Amino acid sequence: MIGERSVAVFYDERVLEHRPDAESPFLPGRLDRRVREILSGLTIKWAYPEHPGRITAICDRLQQHPIAGLEFRSGAVASREQLARVHGTSYLNRIDRLRGQSAWLDTDTTAVSPGSIEAAEVAAGTAVAAVDAVCNGEARSSFALTRPPGHHAEPVRARGFCLFNNAAIAATHAQAVHGLERVLIIDWDAHHGNGTQDIFWADPSVLFFDIHRGAPFYPGSGALEDVGAGLGEGYTVNVPMPAGSGNLAYIKAFNEILVPAVDAFRPELILVSAGFDAHRLDLALNVSYEGFAALTGIVQGLADQHCPGRLACILEGGYHLESLSGGVHAVLEVLAGGVPPEPGVTGLREVEAAAEFHRSAFRDDP
């Protein structure tokens, strides 16, 4: 019998072999302006911001500050069939031919090293394994600590450090293999999940909710008015935010936009495209660890209410190693049964008491 708040954490060291910085001496000269912007301000030693140190920083943090109730499991390689539910044949063939090579996949951000293709297959397969764990009842929730990330990858195009769309592959696997009809994907990465949006644009069986820093921030998509098309109209929900947005705005968006949408949709599984670049140390948004924990609490409540707790998180971005590892830790604490905080509440009662004290002092003053 699984515990009330059992959490399966998936990690596979094969994802560390995606390392364009180590294998591509030509890379710094090709770095896009947007990547240089990410790098500036982040004190990291890697030339390619999406690097293996991201995963090891998370593992180190979890080792130094263990959380009771986590069960660590290894990942898996995605099958061609799983990848092909989302990506086109010619694209998959093109990616396959890059095995063992160093190359650029697009004109902006995405490169591969000799180990990258297997790493990307493991990233997608690990997201699938995280879904299997909760759909088979092996764990209440799960977290795939994996890379390269996925949410910018389109059906026939690699973008934004992403080769395969891990969350979309996991969602379509849940539908095809576990027979689920309605899957919710929540994307709280600071960047818009353009790839996930594209894949499910006309699909009413997947509700896609994406809160992100709005255009012209990368990738520039995700406008409020973009709500899907055809049968999928209304099943894409974008919430673009200005720079500096923090906990209270995010929580308000979740409570007032996500919660009613989910109550109407009644998902059977919830996936989170969990990026941590909305943290104040990272990319000009202002979400804190408390904020990520509070968002997790809201999502967990939705999962409890609609789909017997089935909740799988899949790592997306997050480039500042301290806030990335701290953010993942904060989410896992709540998944494992920790009480989510109410950010912004600390000190309010004291201020009210102090205001009352000073009001009476002024009143007594003749």
The two tokens of residue 253 are 């968006």
Is 326 a binder of Zn ion (CB under 5 A)? Answer: no
Is 317 a binder of Zn ion (CB under 5 A)? Answer: yes
Site mask for Zn ion (CB under 5 A), range 29-68, x = bound = ----------------------------------------
Pair 8, 29: CB distance under 8 Å: no
Number of residues that bind Zn ion (CB under 5 A): 6
Question: What's the CA gap between 183 and 163, in Å, rounded?
Answer: 22
Dmax over CA atoms of the chain, in Å, equals 85
Question: What's the CA gap between 284 and 134, in Å, rounded?
Answer: 34
Is 132 a binder of Zn ion (CB under 5 A)? Answer: no
3-state SS class at 155: coil
Residue whose tokens read 């990858």: 153
Is 306 a binder of Zn ion (CB under 5 A)? Answer: no
Question: What's the CA gap between 146 and 316, in Å, rounded?
Answer: 8
Residue whose tokens read 């002092």: 361
The two tokens of residue 316 are 């997306």
Is 12 a binder of Zn ion (CB under 5 A)? Answer: no
Residue nearest to Zn ion (CB): 317
Q: Which stretch binds Zn ion (CB under 5 A): 108-116, 181-189, 205-213, 248-256?
A: 181-189
Is 275 a binder of Zn ion (CB under 5 A)? Answer: yes
Nearest Cα to 227, choosing from 219, 237, 212? Answer: 237
Q: Report the residue number, 327 or 343, with the smaller CB distance to Zn ion.
A: 327
Q: Report the residue number, 167 or 190, with the smaller CB distance to Zn ion.
A: 190
Interface residue with Zn ion, options 277, 286, 303, 343 (CB under 5 A): 277
Residues 190-219 that bind Zn ion (CB under 5 A): 190-191
CB of 31 to Zn ion, least distance (A): 17
3-state SS class at 110: coil
User: Of residues 18, 51, 152, 329, which has the active-site annotation?
Assistant: 152
Is 189 a binder of Zn ion (CB under 5 A)? Answer: yes
Q: Report the residue number, 61 or 151, with the smaller CB distance to Zn ion.
A: 151
For the question of residue 191 being annotated catalytic, the response is no
3-state SS class at 238: strand
Nearest Cα to 55, choosing from 106, 92, 18? Answer: 18
Catalytic site residues? Answer: 152
Per CB under 5 A, residues contacting Zn ion are: 189-191, 275, 277, 317
